[in-house]
């Protein structure tokens, strides 16, 4: 009987009394209200409701957990911002005291340890949470734990990757502006890096573990945004584009209303050289972005000089959009293609900065961080070298315990140094490098030399010469180009392929007023023997500044060549003296006995304006508006000067000019030029122009830069006109 009574007493003790059960119900209702308020963004009232839940039931583990979760979410990882982290820790430890093996509680405490930069404790807690979650089999909890384990491994990998040994005789890299500016350009640290050997294989085990955890997270939850985003960045750094694109497409399909999946999809498509598809993805991303973020992504100020950026930012919203539209049209590197590769490269850099350099712990988007700003301006560095943390300020001028990261853009490009705290993915400028970055921005605000769909963009020499058209109301613009056919087709093991050439004339708004595109067949083995000269003659009305673009592109190799120049479409008046541009040529030959117009000459224009020493230098020009005398003759004096702008060898300028004067019959004028003077008398016979040509006989002209200055004095009209054209002379082969 006594045993039965004891059993009944035990059963009674195990059943919660009615009031206790009621209090738990009240507490849970307060928790639900608190969570609803937190979801609505009212954290303050959410804490009030959760505190009421604890007043109703102090032993409700879920209430402690939710309080700890909210404090963890609100807390930053800034070292001095510890109050919320302490409150979160107290609440989560109490929750685990009441329910020691709950994987959610362990997961949240581990997240808190990450913000406290207690990596070892965080890893231990995540692994313990993983063990408990695997027993329960909740895929979302398992995905979150695996994601965080991957993040810890990524932190470890980022702290080890690109490791180099500090040159023992050089010390740490320079940090002060006076050590790295000369006077406004960052000094190249390539010599320093040449003596800093790379630590081979540093961080590879951590990288493999990172990939394993992120992929495992996506197996449990294919739509896990955090794991997808971090894995996308890692895949792009490894250039695993097939997996990257598959993952980005899956993310955009899972969240079609969100902008970032399309932003990252555009980034991958651009990296793969699929520019048309990339443009479509970026357009979808921009259409979905909030107005403030879209404005930040489309902002051109970071890639402009400071003064220009200030003017740009002072424009109204519509004016800024109009400016950006013109800017991208005028800077498109290859008008032969449908896409604007430079704009896509810019958007891709912004997307990459957002993907890799965002620092939510300190409230910075990727494009606002120091590394993100430099990446957007200059793209991926040619070389990255990281130097391990040091324990004293004397051994590391950027701060004890901080990692130094050097970004080098080659021997001719800028170099930047960043510092990074352990446990952080983002880095800040070291020493004076923020000032250095601004100084170099004045020299070169941005560079776009790494566009995937243009593996090589070769220079294409262009010479432009303006003449009067068929009437005084139009001008004739001649564009002469040398196409680098041999360079464009080198190392191609094919017989032939398609080859595009294009001429584009753009107005000040970047709109094409002339577009001429041709497709030819190029026999690769004979490229060096084919004529590389290409010429156009365009009749057009007067107008403002015109950008002339000549391009060539090989459809097989994707190599391209482009040349740009500008001119003003100004008329040659009929009632006053004027001179056409001077057309510089390898040879000018009249085709008739009395040549009177441009078509009466065969001109082999020299598009590069470059001659080898010993080659003849020919010029062609036209005179307009000469006044006839009573007998119909135009009488004028010609002064042709050859000025030496710069010699590339240390030869005596006087001796050089003396030799040329003797050879060409010129007179020495001043210290740097020769002059040839002669007079002409020509019967006009109703002609609206006089055509002239002159050949300078081949001589051993030294290497250098030269300028031809032409002055015409009309005796009858008592007026003067002048023109000039520069050219180079190089050594003979």
**Alpha-carbon gap, residue 54 to 704, rounded angstroms:** 87
Residue 269 has φ and ψ, to the nearest 5°, of -65, -40
What is the SS3 assignment for 537-587?
A: EEEECCCCEEEEEEEEEECCCCCEEEEEEEEECCCCCCCCCEECCCEEEEE
Q: What are the tens digits of pLDDT across the range 585-609?
A: 999 999 999 999 999 999 999 999 9
**Alpha-carbon gap, residue 607 to 586, rounded angstroms:** 9
Predicted TM-score (pTM) of this structure: 0.86
| Cis upstream peptide for 183 (omega within 30°) | yes
Q: Percent of the chain, pLDDT > 70? A: 90
Strand 475-482 and strand 496-506: the pairing is: unpaired
**Alpha-carbon gap, residue 520 to 527, rounded angstroms:** 12
Contacts of 414 (CB under 8 A, 6+ apart): 185, 186, 378, 436, 437, 440, 444
Residue 616, classed as helix, strand or coil, is coil
Question: pLDDT-derived band of residue 7, with 50, 70 and 90 as boundaries?
Answer: very low
| 207 close to 235: Cβ distance less than 8 angstroms | no
C-alpha closest to that of 230 among 150, 350, 143, 140: 150
| 236 close to 271: Cβ distance less than 8 angstroms | yes
Strand 673-683 and strand 633-647: the pairing is: antiparallel
Average confidence (pLDDT) over 476-489: 92
Look at residue 173 in the predicted model and tell me its pLDDT.
62
Polymer length of the chain: 733
| 624 close to 658: Cβ distance less than 8 angstroms | no
With b for 16 or more beta-carbon neighbours within 10 A and e for fewer, the 135-161 pattern comes to eeebeebbbbbbbbbbbbbbbbbbbbb
**Alpha-carbon gap, residue 274 to 712, rounded angstroms:** 55
**For all residues of the chain together, what is the average pLDDT?**
87
Q: What are the tens digits of pLDDT across the range 280-299?
A: 999 999 999 999 999 999 99
**Residue 218, CA atoms < 13 Å, CB-side half-sphere:** 21
- On the question of pLDDT at 21 being above 70, the answer is no
**Alpha-carbon gap, residue 373 to 471, rounded angstroms:** 53
**Alpha-carbon gap, residue 529 to 149, rounded angstroms:** 62
Torsion of CA 104, 106, 108, 111, to 10 degrees: -140
Contacts of 574 (CB under 8 A, 6+ apart): 472, 624, 625, 688
The first and second tokens of residue 599, run together, are 């078509």
Place of tokens 């498109």: 332
| 265 close to 274: Cβ distance less than 8 angstroms | no
Residue 530 has φ and ψ, to the nearest 5°, of -85, 155
**Alpha-carbon gap, residue 626 to 422, rounded angstroms:** 78
Look at residue 398 in the predicted model and tell me its pLDDT.
43
C-alpha closest to that of 416 among 165, 172, 180: 180
- On the question of pLDDT at 2 being above 80, the answer is no
Q: What are the tens digits of pLDDT across the range 656-697?
A: 777 777 777 788 887 788 899 999 999 998 899 999 999 988
Look at residue 412 in the predicted model and tell me its pLDDT.
76
DSSP assignments along 707-719, one per residue: EEEEEEEETTTTE
- On the question of pLDDT at 17 being above 80, the answer is no
The first and second tokens of residue 466, run together, are 């303006």
Q: What are the tens digits of pLDDT across the range 68-124?
A: 899 888 877 665 567 888 888 999 999 899 999 999 999 999 988 888 888 899 999
**Alpha-carbon gap, residue 492 to 448, rounded angstroms:** 26
Tell me which CATH code domain 456-570 carries: 2.60.40.10
Place of tokens 């007043």: 55
Question: pLDDT-derived band of residue 391, with 50, 70 and 90 as boundaries?
Answer: very low
Look at residue 259 in the predicted model and tell me its pLDDT.
96
**Alpha-carbon gap, residue 68 to 208, rounded angstroms:** 32
Number of helices and strands in the chain (H, E): 23, 23
**Alpha-carbon gap, residue 43 to 335, rounded angstroms:** 53
Q: Which helix (H) or strand (E) holds 20?
A: helix 18-39
Look at residue 403 in the predicted model and tell me its pLDDT.
84
- On the question of pLDDT at 711 being above 50, the answer is yes
- On the question of pLDDT at 312 being above 50, the answer is yes
**Alpha-carbon gap, residue 69 to 358, rounded angstroms:** 23
Contacts of 109 (CB under 8 A, 6+ apart): 68, 89, 92, 93, 96, 125
| 162 close to 382: Cβ distance less than 8 angstroms | no
- On the question of pLDDT at 39 being above 70, the answer is yes
**Alpha-carbon gap, residue 227 to 221, rounded angstroms:** 9
Q: Which CATH number fits domain 25-137: 3.40.50.720, 3.40.50.620, 1.20.1630.10, 1.25.40.10?
A: 1.25.40.10
Q: What is the DSSP letter of 618?
A: E
Is the alpha carbon torsion for 223, 226, 227, 230 positive or negative?
Answer: positive
- On the question of pLDDT at 390 being above 70, the answer is no
Q: What are the tens digits of pLDDT across the range 174-205?
A: 655 555 544 333 455 667 787 888 898 889 99
- On the question of pLDDT at 211 being above 90, the answer is yes
The residue ranking higher by pLDDT, 639 or 24, is 639
The first and second tokens of residue 508, run together, are 């000040």
Torsion of CA 708, 714, 718, 722, to 10 degrees: -20
Helices (H), 337-420: 341-357, 370-378
**Alpha-carbon gap, residue 513 to 508, rounded angstroms:** 10
Q: Which value, in Å, is the radius of gyration of the alpha carbons in the chain?
A: 36
Burial of 248: CB neighbours in 10 Å, binned 0-12, 13-18, 19+: buried
DSSP assignments along 190-249, one per residue: HHHHHTS-B-TTTTHHHHHHHHHHHHHHHHH-TT-HHHHHHHHHHHHHTT-HHHHHHHHH
Strand stretches in 667-718, DSSP E? 667-669, 673-683, 690-696, 704-714
Q: What are the tens digits of pLDDT across the range 218-263?
A: 999 999 999 999 999 999 999 999 999 999 999 999 999 999 999 9
Look at residue 320 in the predicted model and tell me its pLDDT.
92
Triad 235, 236, 240: Cα angle to 5°? 60
Q: Name the CATH topology of 572-733.
A: Immunoglobulin-like (2.60.40)
- The domain limits of the chain are 25-137, 456-570, 572-733
**Alpha-carbon gap, residue 199 to 672, rounded angstroms:** 56
The first and second tokens of residue 66, run together, are 């939710």
Look at residue 77 in the predicted model and tell me its pLDDT.
64
Q: What are the tens digits of pLDDT across the range 535-584?
A: 999 999 998 899 999 999 988 888 999 999 999 999 998 889 999 999 99
Helices (H), 40-189: 43-56, 61-74, 83-98, 103-115, 119-136, 139-160, 177-180
Look at residue 9 in the predicted model and tell me its pLDDT.
35
C-alpha closest to that of 149 among 224, 199, 93, 86: 224
If phi over 0 gives left and psi between -120 and 50 gives alpha, with beta otherwise, what is residue 488?
Answer: alpha
Across 329-333, 388-392, 402-406, which has the greatest mean pLDDT? 329-333
- Asked whether this chain's domains 456-570 and 572-733 adopt the same fold, the reply is yes
């Amino acid at each position: 009987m006594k045993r039965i009574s004891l059993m009944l007493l035990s059963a009674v003790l195990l059943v919660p009394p009615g009031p206790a059960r009621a209090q738990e119900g009240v507490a849970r209702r307060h928790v639900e209200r608190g969570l609803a308020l937190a979801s609505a963004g009212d954290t303050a009232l959410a804490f009030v409701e959760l505190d009421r839940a604890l007043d109703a039931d102090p032993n409700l583990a879920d209430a402690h957990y939710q309080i700890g979760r909210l404090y963890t979410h609100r807390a930053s990882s800034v070292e001095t911002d510890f109050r919320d982290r302490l409150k979160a820790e107290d609440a989560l430890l109490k929750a685990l005291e009441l329910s020691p093996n709950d994987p959610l509680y362990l997961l949240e405490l581990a997240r808190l340890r990450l913000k406290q930069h207690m990596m070892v404790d965080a890893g231990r807690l995540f692994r313990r949470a993983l063990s408990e979650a695997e027993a329960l089999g909740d895929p979302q909890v398992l995905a979150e734990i695996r994601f965080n384990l991957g993040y810890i491994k990524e932190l470890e990998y980022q702290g080890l990757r690109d490791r180099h040994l500090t040159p023992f005789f050089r010390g740490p890299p320079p940090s002060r502006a006076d050590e790295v500016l000369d006077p406004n350009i960052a000094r190249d640290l390539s010599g320093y890096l040449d003596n800093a050997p790379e630590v081979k294989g540093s961080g590879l085990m951590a990288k493999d573990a990172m990939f394993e955890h992120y992929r495992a997270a996506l197996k449990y939850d294919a739509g896990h945004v955090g794991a997808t985003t971090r894995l996308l960045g890692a895949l792009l750094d490894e250039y695993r584009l097939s997996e990257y694109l598959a993952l980005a497409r899956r993310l955009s399909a899972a969240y079609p209303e969100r902008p970032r999946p399309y932003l990252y999809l555009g980034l991958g498509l651009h990296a793969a050289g699929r520019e048309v598809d990339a443009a479509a993805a970026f357009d979808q991303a921009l259409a979905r972005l909030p107005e403030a973020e879209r404005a930040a992504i489309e902002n051109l100020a970071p890639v402009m000089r400071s003064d220009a950026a200030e003017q740009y930012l002072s424009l109204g919203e519509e004016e800024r959009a109009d400016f950006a539209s013109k800017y991208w049209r005028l800077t498109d590197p290859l008008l032969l293609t449908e896409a604007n590769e430079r704009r896509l490269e810019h958007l891709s850099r912004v997307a990459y900065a957002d993907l890799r350099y965002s620092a939510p712990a300190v409230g910075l988007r990727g494009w606002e961080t120091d590394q993100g700003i430099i990446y957007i301006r200059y793209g991926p560095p040619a070389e990255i070298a990281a130097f391990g943390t040091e324990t004293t300020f004397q051994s590391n001028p950027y701060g004890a315990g901080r990692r130094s990261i050097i970004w080098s853009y080659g021997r001719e490009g800028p170099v930047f140094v960043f510092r990074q705290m352990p446990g952080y993915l983002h880095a800040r400028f070291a020493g004076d490098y923020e000032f250095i970055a601004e100084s170099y921005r004045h020299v070169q605000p941005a560079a776009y030399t790494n566009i995937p769909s243009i593996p090589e963009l070769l220079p294409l020499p262009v010479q432009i010469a303006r003449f009067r058209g068929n009437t005084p109301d139009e001008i004739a613009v001649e564009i002469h180009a040398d196409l680098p056919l041999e360079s464009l087709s080198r190392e191609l093991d094919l017989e032939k392929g398609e080859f595009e050439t294009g001429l584009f004339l753009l107005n000040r708004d970047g709109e094409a007023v002339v577009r001429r595109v041709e497709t030819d067949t190029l026999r690769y083995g004979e490229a060096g023997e084919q004529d590389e000269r290409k010429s156009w003659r365009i009749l057009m009305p007067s107008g403002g500044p015109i950008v002339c673009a000549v391009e060539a592109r090989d459809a097989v190799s994707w190599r391209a060549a482009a040349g740009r120049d500008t001119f003003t479409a100004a008329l040659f008046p009929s009632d006053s003296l004027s001179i056409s541009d001077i057309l510089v040529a390898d040879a000018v030959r009249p085709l008739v006995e009395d040549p009177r117009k441009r078509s009466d000459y065969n001109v082999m224009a020299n598009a590069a304006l470059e001659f080898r020493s010993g080659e003849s230098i020919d010029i062609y020009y036209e005179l307009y508006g000469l006044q006839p005398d009573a007998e119909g003759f135009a009488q004028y004096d010609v002064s042709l000067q050859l000025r030496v702008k710069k010699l590339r060898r240390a030869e005596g300028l006087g001796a050089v000019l003396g030799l040329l004067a003797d050879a060409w019959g010129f007179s020495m004028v001043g210290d740097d030029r020769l002059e040839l003077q002669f007079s002409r008398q020509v019967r006009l016979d109703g002609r609206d122009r006089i055509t002239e040509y002159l050949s300078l006989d081949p001589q051993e002209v030294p290497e250098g830069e030269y300028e031809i200055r032409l002055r015409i004095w009309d005796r009858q009209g008592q007026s003067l006109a002048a023109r000039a054209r520069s050219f180079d002379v190089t050594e003979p082969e």
